[in-house]
Amino acid sequence: MSKQNLVIVGNGMAPGRLLEHLFEATDSYNVTIFNAEPRVNYDRIMLSPVLSGEKSFEDIVIHSEEWYAGHGITLHKGAKVSKIDRAAKTVTSENGITAPYDKLVIATGSSPFIIPVPGKDLDGVLAYRDLEDTYGMMKAAKAGGRAVVIGGGLLGLEAAAGLRMQGMEVTVIHLMASLMERQLDPAAGFLLQRELEGRGIEVLCEANTKQILGTDKVEGVELADGRIIDASLVVMAVGIRPSVQLAKDAGLEVNRGIVTGFDLKTSDPDIYSVGECVEVGGMVYGLVAPLYQMAKVAAAHLSGPSDAAFQHVETPTKLKVTGVNLYSVGDFAEGPDREDIVLRNASAGTYKRVILRDNKVIGAVMYGDVADGGWYNEMLKSGEDVSDKHETLIYGQMFQGGGAVDPLAIVAGLSDDAEICGCNGICKGQITSAITEKGLTSLAEVRAHTKASASCGTCTGLVQDLMTITLGEDAAAVPEGMCGCTHLGHGDVRRLIVAKELKSIPAVMQELEWTTPEGCAKCRPALNYYLISDWPGEYADDMQSRFINERVHANIQKDGTYSVVPRMWGGITTPDELRAIADVADKFDIPTVKVTGGQRIDLLGVKKEDLLPVWKDLNDAGMISGAAYAKGLRTVKTCVGKDWCRFGTQDSTGLGVKLEQFLWGSWAPAKLKLAVSGCPRNCAESTCKDIGIVCVDSGYEVLYGGAAGLHIQGTTKLGNVATEQDVIEVVGALTQFYRETGYYLERIYKWADRIGYDHVKAMVFDDLEQRHAYYERFVYSQKFAQIDPWAERVAGAEAHEFSPMAEIKLEAAE
């Protein structure tokens, strides 16, 4: 059966999502796309981070050139359609391209509304709808001066924040009495205005534009009350209108938008329409979630007979301005049949308002503390009667049932149909099912299979919480968004700590505008690591910002007891050490003694009150912590090597000991497990470790990026070197590069996947000068690496008094 011709006019987010759904269901169409823009599809809701400099165009591309080619799509870029001939069933572009269709999708989007004031056509007056507008603003910002943004809605404020971050002076002119009046009530609008003014953005509400001043280009803006504001750039962000002229000229039914049924068919049954140009059920939409629902419904009907129908759902509003947390959903207008519950915290600058009717949530507005937005939205959609939680409702989900609970428990307690990703309409059950059924272990995989957090990214923390609940900490540790305390990602935080020379946790939280006073259990350990890594010798490790296992130097077990693992360098021990371990096990009635996969002995079932005396006895025998809890070096596994094995080519045991002593005590983004195998038979399992060494006749093969947990992955070869010192230098350089660019809890294989294996090789192996520089920085940082604090506690002495361990560390580094 021959394929039908499907022509799509427009290449925005809605038609792109339509094609994804369509290709999943059928291969029955030859697809042709006419795109007015000269590029591929991109995420328009992420233009704000591009404007602010936080992302590039490449970061927001949705479908690459390879995607179109892989699906056999004919993409006409820079080809605006000028005519639809319904009788001939053809589409023709302004540059003369004509394509026949059996089915047609119109996705012409919307056009910015330009206020008809004198001066609106001057050079320097821009709208804010697409990438060209964004690039125009970025170009203008390089010249400096003042930008006037007309409109205090979502787009206007995102433009204002981005231009301010680009270094311009910015004034926002807004006709109404408070900002974002369609999405926020006056109280939240006031807090938002105060926040923006605190960032140096001037906000003028109840201000009406009379004219834009200038001869050939913008020079200023005059207001109706006579005030004049100097300006070199004016951004119009006062609203949008559906782009319907093409459909109107084709004789389709048009009202405010292109009129469709709930199946997204227009008045012509062979023509569908999706996106901001559509009017369905008497409503037009500008947020991405309903547009994606349109795409799904239209794709279902194009695939064959379907009863799929578009349904109106209240969509939450979020502002994509770094560090500004606001959330609104539903109906928050005043009315006699409504009840308001309000909570304000002046010192924290937070505001929460929940609107009830007949004891049901019908709306919510939050500023500052938005963690409960999804919970309120779930109750709004379900129509749940909240009479039984009326008194505690405003305090949020954490305080239901008489006291605060773990935030992870809150996420775990959400129903399967609770919405997690508002942009894409993805619920909790879809995400957890995909994780378990498809074996997903990374955020990138979850995004690829579910689309959750793939748009604006504000739900990333929730998605990661679901991964933690479903898979456990290590598997879910795919850092991107840090936590609810900030909208900054790990990469932005790392970059800004160095750029702004921030050298303490309070300094980071103040300068990067944390929304909580002290951070949380997610962000504090990450900040502590980044500060240790970036400012060795200047920042003092904050043990209270470490996980419990790191604080007590033992791994907590499911029954509340602890596991103690003394270090055995390279898996080598002595009779005295073995006797000391046996004596401790007897003395403290430790129930289980086990040999670990890292060639050490694990004492399992140690009571918390016995931890100090256990470590005192082990310290007295010269043994220190094996750091089986560390975000850093765990073990270096070895085989016996050439001293004993008839196949051994090098001294693998000796090299393993040297590497362990060299790396010992240094912290890393995540745990590091190494191995050294004496020959290619690989008895130490070097090819599944974070870093592996395989001894060969000519020297040593250096490998990295292996995994053998929930995720199974073999190592990648970095290269061959000739001497042990070469191995130590390469491993030191690789570790330092990982430490400087890795995100907290990001395993080395995930780090390499993210930044590229070729790039890693170029930086720490091929470029000898760069390699040595990283190695030298590692050696320098090791001078400040932590000496085992248990020794300090049990002996009441300073760390430097434990000279044998300190000397081992420094000698190996030198």
CB of 386 closer than 8 Å to CB of 355 = no
Please list, in sequence order, all residues whose beta carbon lies within 8 angstroms of the beta carbon of residue 317, skipping any fewer than 6 positions away. 154, 180, 183, 287, 326, 327, 328, 329
Nearest to 750 by CA among 788, 779, 785, 709: 709
CB of 640 closer than 8 Å to CB of 710 = no
Calpha distance 482→474 (Å, rounded): 15
CB of 378 closer than 8 Å to CB of 369 = no
Annotated binding site: 639, 645, 679, 683
The residue with tokens 């990333």 is 460
The residue with tokens 């390279």 is 570
The residue with tokens 């006031």 is 190
Calpha distance 744→793 (Å, rounded): 27
Annotated binding site for siroheme: 683
Q: What φ, ψ does residue 456 adopt, rounded to 5°?
A: -75, -25
Nearest to 479 by CA among 471, 487, 490, 488: 490
Please report how many Cα atoms fall inside a 13 Å half-sphere around the Cα of residue 21, on the Cβ side.
22
CA end-to-end span of the chain: 73
What count of other Cβ atoms lies within 10 Å of the Cβ of residue 776? 14
- For residue 635 the two structure tokens come to 């073990």
Annotated binding site for [4Fe-4S] cluster: 639, 645, 679, 683
Tell me, rounded to whole angstroms, the distance of Cα 274 from its chain centroid: 28
SS3 state of residue 483: strand
- For residue 77 the two structure tokens come to 């870029």
| Count of positions (residues) in the chain | 814
CA dihedral 561, 563, 564, 565 (to 10 degrees): 180
Please list, in sequence order, all residues whose beta carbon lies within 8 angstroms of the beta carbon of residue 507, skipping any fewer than 6 positions away. none
CB of 471 closer than 8 Å to CB of 707 = no
